[in-house]
A = this chain, B = another copy of it.
């Protein structure tokens, strides 16, 4: 049986105490270079594979310092500080000996406490009642997600007639389906197209420079979510002199908050 393209993409080979090698994946290619979400998942895969790891991911920040070239890469993941139930990681992806991405990850053993969810999932149509997006064939990674937009789809015409806000809501899952885990959830956190495209309906050149993911969920919730669709909602807050941010949330269909995620993008004009 052929492995799922996602599992192929995040497969790493141990190359030293804190070092792994991997390959970019044609299945998750973007316009140029790989989809940022798959790069984030590859960095997290090294942490998940590390024999000294304690607990599950609670936070990730990844910085896209330079373009990732198609081909081989090295991931270095080392625990910078290990406490009793928490661990702080410094992670780098290298190509030709140069850091192309840097990241910090925090993992922790969680235990049951008082809990509350303030970011409620918006009331939207069920995933199978929403039309599935036709992937754009020039961008491979879009075919790796079943995406169903409720609101704020990518502009159909690049006519400069943008919208008043940059809110997007969509259902998404892996294509072909694959049970959700921390790695695929990490990748999905980057699924939102650039907010400035909604505001301007202009194909501005841009790229993510840093992304943060806070994980509110545990492995049991992810297992229970399985291959169901996940709802994403995102909105930009500031667009100024070359940089814009957005803040998003992902929920499973039961309305449980899986992650909150933020990113800063560079844009050219």
B118 touches A237 (CB 8 A): yes
CA distance A53 to B119 in the complex (A): 38
A268's closest neighbor in chain B, by CB? B113
Which of A16-24, A55-63, A140-148, A171-179 sits within the interface?
A: A55-63
Chain A 87-104 interface mask (CB, 8 Å, partner B; 1/0): 010101000001110111
A260 touches B239 (CB 8 A): no
What is the interface of chain A mostly: helix, strand, loop, or mixed? Answer: strand
CA distance A66 to B39 in the complex (A): 28
Q: Contacts A115-B241, A235-B118 given: A81-B59 contact, CB under 8 Å?
A: no
Task: Count copies of this chain in the complex.
Answer: 2
Q: Which of A245-269 contact B (CB under 8 A)?
A: 245, 247, 249, 257, 260, 262, 264, 266-269
CA distance A144 to B216 in the complex (A): 33
Q: Separation in Å of the A41 CB from the closest CB of chain B? A: 19
Check if A130 is an interface residue, CB within 8 A of chain B: no
Q: Which of A215-236 contact B (CB under 8 A)?
A: 216-218, 235-236
A243 touches B116 (CB 8 A): no
B114 touches A61 (CB 8 A): no
A119's closest neighbor in chain B, by CB? B237
What number of A residues sit within 8 Å (CB to CB) of B?
A: 63
Tell me which residues across on chain B come within 8 A of A116, comparing CB atoms.
199, 239-240
Q: Contacts A116-B239, A241-B218 given: A80-B65 contact, CB under 8 Å?
A: yes
CA distance A179 to B268 in the complex (A): 31
B239 touches A114 (CB 8 A): yes
Pick 30 A–B contacts, CB within 8 A, sort by A.
A59-B63, A59-B210, A61-B61, A65-B81, A80-B92, A81-B99, A81-B100, A86-B266, A88-B99, A88-B102, A90-B90, A104-B104, A106-B210, A106-B264, A108-B242, A108-B243, A110-B241, A110-B242, A110-B243, A113-B269, A116-B239, A117-B238, A118-B235, A118-B237, A118-B238, A119-B238, A214-B238, A237-B257, A237-B260, A245-B260
